[in-house]
Chain A
């Protein structure tokens, strides 16, 4: 085994100047500058749903949409904080509130439809295209996120990957809602929100592989 003294000498000898990591809020802005154009491009190519101007005035549509956007921003902030040693732990909980609002508003709509129309009010049919669309639209923001967090210290790779994937998928959900004319609350909850959950969980599970601890490159 190398002596600690020798190791210190070697590390110091090889230590070149490094580019400091920008503050997390600047990194969030940088990530949004990649992610938002992708969503805008997707909406432009697919064509915004025809009733979008009307729907944007309805709280039932707008609240989950804004909550998803806030989840994306907060999850990105949390992901960046999770790979800076010594960051306050509460940053990791930042996305919990908008996420709860997002899930809660969709759940509330399901309950309201059930109470108003009974079991017939709950529409459910297969719409499996949501998952590939979320994955496809979320891929670029997810790749950008993984690339950015790899510059940090991935001490909690699964959590970091989960938060980063949640941010990317939440952004993709926003894009999907602008394009896909699907408004039955249960359908949105199962297929669109469900796709976000699957995407984030799968990438989170692959966190150790995606964010493997890098060698001390110069050593």
Chain B
């Protein structure tokens, strides 16, 4: 938490936030649009290993956090230290999440040789099974597809996924369950026909 020195380099943002706290939606939207490039720049600089999509992830996390705790802003104090404290915590969370995710993934260098077995020679790695799964996922309804992508592939928590999508946690659980069930049915049917 940085010490605030009482100076406010962005009095306009302080004013917009105070108006937003009073329910001025236009001021709030303007504020969020104005701070987004700054959030993006800071995230890109601090998370120098992160891909553009991850930087955008962090930016969205910060925007959601700003929204959730906007009542904690005190209009007499500078806006920027308040915003940057939120961003710093959110970036730390992202880094923790990234490390956790990394533990479940295994980095494998591309192998120069493959086995002579036909199954190992996949020409670019897109196996029939992967194509099959991708095609099956593509046939799912959008909500189920999104739930599977966020919860199963990106390994977000239910809360995070709910914040991203605007769906309730229950709706996400149901969509994931149905999506998995649908996938199982689709893949099972394909196998039977194949």
Which residues of A are at the interface with B, using a C-beta cutoff of 8 A? 1-2, 4, 7-13, 15-21, 23, 83-90, 151-153, 155, 213-219
B residues near A218, Cβ cutoff 8 Å: 67
Q: Is B147 an interface residue (CB 8 A)?
A: no
Known: A2-B166, A219-B166. A88 touches B1 (CB 8 A): yes
With A12-B28, A153-B86, A215-B159 in contact, is A23–B74 under 8 Å at CB? yes
B29 x A8 contact (CB < 8 A): yes
- Among B20, B64, B68, chain A packs the most CB atoms within 10 A around the CB of B68
Chain B residues with CB under 8 Å of A219's CB are 64, 67, 163, 166
Q: Given known contacts A85-B82, A85-B86, A155-B89, is B164 in contact with A4 (CB within 8 Å)? A: no
B68 engages A2 (CB within 8 Å): no
CA distance A4 to B149 in the complex (A): 18
A11 touches B89 (CB 8 A): no
**B2 proximal to A (CB < 8 A):** yes
Q: For B84, what are the chain A residues with a Cβ–Cβ distance below 8 Å?
A: 86
On chain B, which size bracket covers the interface?
A: 35 or more
User: With A4-B63, A21-B71, A216-B68 in contact, is A89–B1 under 8 Å at CB?
Assistant: yes
Residues of B participating in the A interface, judged by any CB pair closer than 8 Å: 1-4, 20-23, 25-26, 28-29, 32-33, 36, 53, 56-57, 59-60, 63-65, 67-75, 77-78, 81-86, 89, 149-150, 159, 162-166
Smallest CB–CB gap between A163 and chain B, Å? 14
Q: How far is the CA of A8 from the CA of B28 in the complex (A)?
A: 9
| A84 contacts across to B, CB distance below 8 A | 72, 74
Contact of A17 with B22 in the complex, beta carbons under 8 Å: yes
Q: Distance (Å) between the CB of B80 and the closest chain A CB? A: 8
| Cross-chain contact B63 with A7 (CB below 8 angstroms) | yes
Query: In the assembled complex, which residues on chain A have CB atoms less than 8 Å from the CB atom of B86?
Result: 85, 153, 155
Question: What residue in chain B is nearest A17 (Cβ atoms)?
Answer: B23
